[in-house]
Structure 1
């Protein structure tokens, strides 16, 4: 990226901040980028935050922090560091890491990550018996089929095309979320367990681990907010390989769940994501006297990506994704 291209990139970041209402200023016609001065770092530096601070009525350092995540998301930018009163120091990258690319895609698509067109234009007829588990499974399949461009239609009639093993008793006393999980987590040919085990808040309960992992991601986000830093996709060398693999595999799992009318595949994959995310989350926030760095922003972005997948998957199963647990 040339200095001229980088200047345009910085201007686009300013324009995005203005469009989002984060800065109330006129977008300047040009921004100067130069090699970093004493105390600086990276490949280039710009004083745009100091330039905008007066018109914005905000401290230069705060303007700089607003621009950091917007710049760091730009193609060709590896890292952005604020030094001094608000100088933005920019490191350029020759190529994005696979983790950064994956996390960037999840952030861009949000709840739509994993959606595709495997069943585009198809009408999936789900003929089910009058049975509570069959009804719950069919409703989940309708939602999952829709993620792949299909339309599910539930009918009660013969011949039955979706007949999971019935629950041995009424799951309603478990409450809506635990009842959904009890009926959807086992494969259709397995008899569901309708027990209080689905309600206990301990590691032996897969539903608890999935919902707890999502709540922990939200807690990390609140902590990052208090420390004043945001999530920026980047390389995370110490990320658990299982977490990155599970996130990357989510579209394939979701497609398989839709094609095979098998919400249990999705439920089990959410457990995989949660089990990979939980040991990683304590590493996201700075500890002790540490200051937020590009590594923390990249870890935070990866954690948020895991939260996005967990929330999206739970929603498709008809289960609440709590912010607190």
Structure 2
């Protein structure tokens, strides 16, 4: 008899009610793949885009989820040992093949990173995509260096807050934006040096403090705020386009000479598990356990609260990461 699991399935793009919990067979891993018992998974804008029909290249029905945290059940190729704690992230999860919104997921071994930690699953489940994207943006997208300044546009998003934590660990001066003054305290608590209320003219606020502009900037809102972010950055400074909280990511009639300020450099980041070295993941977990770093979590949900969790993500009310724990 085939063993079954609970999974959250999207048959076609639609409202939050389109996410349905149903019984599916537990997948069987082939050589080079890993079967993981999912303990927790974080929610991401990518999954919202898929549900809303904004993502390309997704086939349905599909179990969503571009990340998962749990323990290894089976790895036929011997890459991992049963019982090992692991995270899985990106690489087509929840898009090209079924992802982490389930009690079990089967993913390529190349997308899996092992770790050891006594932190609770809710905390661990918040990390994979958030830490990978934040670390990749800082290193690959920005080549950020100690002592530099950074502007984080979309600061109260999970990636924005994680980037602020990592940047402070690097000895950077952090500017971070929020449109909601009530969320400012959350940014101050994680060590942000300058909280800016986003009124659409952030560059004026930045240059009142740093007349030449910031050294680096991370754009997480999207193309509506990108021109202002570019204007906030000094000559030879770098802006990395990583996120699109606004659901807008293209520039119409892009004319570089007019769009990009003189001497400012524009890059982009969209990576995967290979950009998160195991030592970085383990080091961050150890720092959290020691009280030297924080994981920005807004709320932890039970598996059957997926509709409520997706509604919160769509409304943009969260300050930090939304996480689902399968065993609650």
What TM-score, normalized by structure 2, do the two folds share?
0.28
Tell me which protein shows more helix as a share of its residues.
1
Bigger CA radius of gyration: 1
Tell me which protein shows more strand as a share of its residues.
2
What TM-score, normalized by structure 1, do the two folds share?
0.28
